[in-house]
Amino acid sequence: MNTQIARRGPLRRRTLRTRLGTALLGVLLTAGPVAASAQAAGEWNPGKHDEDTVINCITQQPAPGVSADVGWRSETGQVPKVGEVFYVRGYAGLVSLPCSGSVAVLPELMLPAGVVPADDKAPIYWDLTKSGTSQALRTTKLTFANGRNGGYLIGSPEGLKWELRVGDVLEIQVPVVATRELKGPATQQPECQTRLDGTAPCPINQAGDHLQIAFTVAGHGGTKSYVTPYVGLFASPATAGPTGPTTGTTQAASATRAAYQVGKRRAVVTITSTGTLAGTVVITDKGKKIASAKVTGRVTTLKLPRLKKGRHVLVARYSGTSQVLASTSAPTKVTVR
């Protein structure tokens, strides 16, 4: 099966942020309430599931084919503020056995207006978990191209579609930033007929503040061309300054560096800024929070948990304050033997 996607141009090893080619827009300060259900403590907030139907090659009966889901989460477990990095993810698996034996899948990331990729600030995590094996998220560069629905196609490192066999699960986690307030399900939901029928995702301008990930599915005899789960995204306005007359203040920039002593289970995080430092710093391993501490000065020392054997990707994120912008360290790859 030839699964290359040459019709849409070559997939290239560029960051999504570079392909987007836009700078962050100004912050909209029209505050409004955010749904409490969006605030789960560091857990993934799930969206609306989607799947197609195939004829099971063994039973010759209709059965679920490609099953897909989507979600978002922030490092703090709270609704992210405008300008803060948070993660969205999509994952899809082949549930039943089609007579083709496999399915070719190509996800298209369809971000709502006012949400941009942030893979220049944090890594993309992904894994194609084969049936009977454990997930091991990795940060190997993927390939990207413009999708026909206005989103970003995410291909394999080799520039191909992903092939799923029964029991395989593909998961991709992408860091993003909101440039405006987002209100999730309080806006138009992508319940258009084409998404329900599986012929196309809803147009981005008809999806409100929702992320859609449109999985193109082909070659397995399924009932849909697209399996498209979606989830409402939230972002609260950036922290406003004090009320009353002010002289006008601008948040100072910051830079975060991290050094790790895995054997001693210690991380030393250095934050540089012209502003007064406060807030918190969080250490993540492949996107999962493993340590945090309050920031009281330029250098913060954190105690790490004992890391399991294998490869790890450690990132330090400084939360920032109303006077100092947030910042993120470069990812550090660590192998524990």
- The encoded tokens of residue 331 equal 């990812």
Every domain range in the chain assigned CATH 2.60.40.10: 6-19+41-235, 254-336
Query: Per-residue confidence at 79, pLDDT binned at 50, 70, 90?
Result: very high
d(CA 330, CA 310): 20
Alpha-helical (H) ranges within 214-298 are none
pLDDT at 28: 20
Q: Mapped to the 3 state alphabet, what secondary structure does 45-92 carry?
A: EECECEEEEEECCCCCCEEEEEEEEEEEECCCCCCCECCCEEEEEEEE
Per-residue confidence (pLDDT) for residue 195, from 0 to 100:
97
Mean pLDDT of 55-81: 92
Q: Is the pLDDT of residue 159 over 80?
A: yes
CATH of 6-19+41-235, one of 3.40.1830.10, 3.90.1150.10, 3.40.50.10860, 2.60.40.10: 2.60.40.10
pLDDT at 15: 55
258 Cβ neighbours under 8 A, 6+ residues apart: 267, 268, 269, 270, 283, 314, 315, 316, 329, 332
CATH number for the domain formed by residue range(s) 254-336: 2.60.40.10
| Euclidean distance between CA atoms 62 and 81, whole angstroms | 44
pLDDT at 239: 65
Give tens-digit pLDDT for 203-241: 999 999 999 999 999 889 999 999 999 999 999 987 654
